[in-house]
Chains A and B, each alone.
Chain A
C-alpha cells in the first residue's frame, strides 16, 4: 500500500547569471550584500557545494573566501565562514546575518579595509535554475531508499538545500514527504543532518543508512 502521495524526484540545470555588481573592498561588499537579489546571496553561499573539489575548501561561503584571500581580513573571513546556514529558513535572514557580521567588523575597526588586488574584485552572480522531473518516483519508504542511489548530486542539492532555503519550504523535501507518509521520526532525524558539513555523496549515503536503520528497527 502506498504511504501517501508518491515522491517525485526533480533535478535542475543551472545557468550562471551575472549581475554586473562588484565589490573591491569590504565597504562595497557590505553595500552590495544589502541590495543584491536574494538569489545572489544563495548562489555565493551554496554553489561551491555543487562544484567538484579536489581538496576540501577552507570556506564554501564565497563571501568568506574572498574576504580572506583577496582582502586578507582573515578574522572576518572566519566569522563569515562560520555563519550557520542551517539556522536560517529564509534568504532574508541569511542576508541579514552576513550584513550584520560585516557591519560589526567594520564598526570595530576604524582603519579602512584593504582594496582587493587588481583583477580580484568580488563579482556578484546568481543562478537561473530550470527545474525538471527526473522520471524517478518513489511510492513508499523502501522504494524511496532503493531510488536514492540513482539520484544525482544536483537533484539531492535541489531537494535538500535549495528547497529549504531558496524556495523557503522551511525543511528539506525528503523530511516533509517522510512526515506526511507516516514516518515523522525518520523525517526529523534526516532534518537534523547538517548537509553543509558533508559532501552530497556523503549526504546521500547517510540518508540511506538512517532509512535502513529505521526500517530495521
Chain B
C-alpha cells in the first residue's frame, strides 16, 4: 500500500507536511498528468510510484501515463540518452524518423487531459506537438545529465523543448540556452522505501551472514552498477591503501547489467582484481534486492561513490540518510550531497579516496559526526517531500510566468 502523508510526518516532521498542504492549496484540483516511458524499473518510475499518491492526497488530481514504443524506438532513445550524456553515438535520419513516427502513434492513442502535462525525459518529449491544438501548461522534466550533450541530438530535441512552458533540470550545471524558463529540482530519496527504511538489527546480521561478511571488522562499501564511470577498480585501489593499516573489508555490490555488454567486461575485471583477496566481496545482486542493499549500507563503516561522471548519484544520499560518511568523486550531483569535510569527503583520485578512508577509520568520532550531519543534510534537501513541494511550486510558477516575486493571499 502506498505511504500516506501521515506516514511521512513521523520521518520529516509535522511542519514539513503542513508546509506541503499550505503550498498545494494554491493548485488544488488541478489535473497534473505525468507521462514517461516505463511504469517499472528506473528512477523516474520509482519516484512517480511514490509521488502520485502523495500529490493526490494533497488535493492535486495527479495521474500517470506511459507511452508505447517498439524495441527499435527504445534503441533510438537509448542512443539519445547516451549521446546526451556526451557519448559518441551513431544517429541516423532513419532513427529520427522512427522517433517522430512513434510520437505520432502515441499522440493518436494518449488521452491528454491534464491541466498541467509533465513529460519526463526525451522519450515522450515529442508529445508537445499537441500543445498547439489543445493548449494547457506543459513541462519537460529532464532527469539526465545534459551538461555536455552531443549537439546533434540536443539540436534535434531543442525545438520540441522550446515549445514547453518550462523545463526542469536536476542541477545548475545541466541548464541550457533555452527560450523557455528553466527551474532546478534536485532528485530525492524516499525514506520509507525498502531501500531506505529502518531495519531490525537481526535482519542486518542475517544479510551479513548470508554474504560472508565479518560483522566485527570495518566494512567499506560501494553500491553501483559495474560501470567504468563508477570506477570500481579505483575503489579497490583505495581499499588497498586503507587495508595497509586497518584489517577492513571491501564490498562492491550492484545490479546485473544484461543490457550492457561493457558491464560484463568491467565485472570480470573487478572479479579478477578481487580474486587474490578474500576480504574483497563482489556481489551481483538480482533485481528487487532493495532490502538487502539497505542492510549492507547500514552495516558499512564507510560508503564510497567514486564516480568519474555522475548524473546525480542518489546512492550518496541513501548512505548519508543511514548516517554513513561518504567518500565520493567530486563530480555532478555528488558535489551537492557531500559537503566536503562535513558530510564526507570529495576526492579526485584513488589515492585521495584511500587517504580519506584511513582518516575515517582512524577517527570513529569524526565518522559518526559526519554521518549525523549527512542525515540532517539529506533531511533538509533530498527527501521526497521536498521534491513534491518543488513540483507544486513549478505548477504555481506556470500560472505566474512573468513575475520573479509573486504575491499571493
Contacts and interface: CB of A to CB of B under 8 A. Distances in A.
A180 interface: no
Given A39-B404, A52-B380, A54-B339, A17 B184 contact: yes
A131 B400 CA distance: 12
Given A18-B184, A127-B404, A131-B405, A13 B393 contact: yes
A20 B175 contact: yes
Nearest to A135: B22
Size range of the interface on B? 35 or more
A18 B405 contact: no
Contacts of A119: 147, 173, 330-332
Given A20-B175, A129-B405, A13 B183 contact: no
Contact of A20 (B178, B343, B404, B409): B178
Main secondary structure of the interface of A (DSSP, over half): strand
Given A126-B404, A128-B404, A54 B342 contact: yes
Contacts of A123: 172-173, 175
Interface string B174-186: 0111100111100
B173 A130 contact: no
A1 interface: no
Contacts, number: 83
A15 B397 contact: yes
A18 B172 CA distance: 6
B406 interface: yes
B406 A133 contact: no
Contacts of A37: 404
B389 interface: yes
Interface string B396-409: 11001001111111
B231 interface: no
A16 B389 CA distance: 12
A131 B409 CA distance: 8
A11 to B, nearest CB: 9
Contacts of A82: none
B349 interface: no
A18 B175 contact: yes
Nearest to A16: B184
Nearest to B403: A128
A54 B369 CA distance: 11
B404 A18 contact: no
B241 interface: no
A198 interface: no
A192 interface: no
A36 to B, nearest CB: 12
A5 interface: no
A19 interface: yes
Contact of A133 (B23, B169, B390, B409): B409
B193 interface: no
B376 interface: yes
Contacts of A13: 23, 389, 393
Contacts of A131: 405-408
Contact of B184 (A54, A121, A125): A125
Interface string A129-144: 1111100000000000
A137 to B, nearest CB: 14
16 contacts: A13-B23, A13-B393, A14-B393, A15-B390, A17-B184, A17-B404, A19-B182, A52-B377, A54-B339, A119-B330, A125-B184, A128-B406, A130-B23, A130-B406, A131-B408, A132-B408
Given A17-B182, A17-B183, A52-B380, 20 more contacts: A13-B23, A13-B389, A15-B393, A15-B394, A15-B397, A20-B175, A20-B177, A20-B178, A22-B175, A52-B377, A54-B343, A127-B404, A128-B393, A128-B397, A128-B404, A129-B404, A130-B393, A131-B405, A131-B406, A131-B408
Interface of B: 22-23, 26, 147, 169, 172-173, 175-178, 181-184, 330-332, 339, 341-343, 373, 376-377, 380, 389-390, 393-394, 396-397, 400, 403-409
Interface of A: 13-20, 22, 37, 39, 52, 54-55, 119, 121, 123, 125-133, 166-167
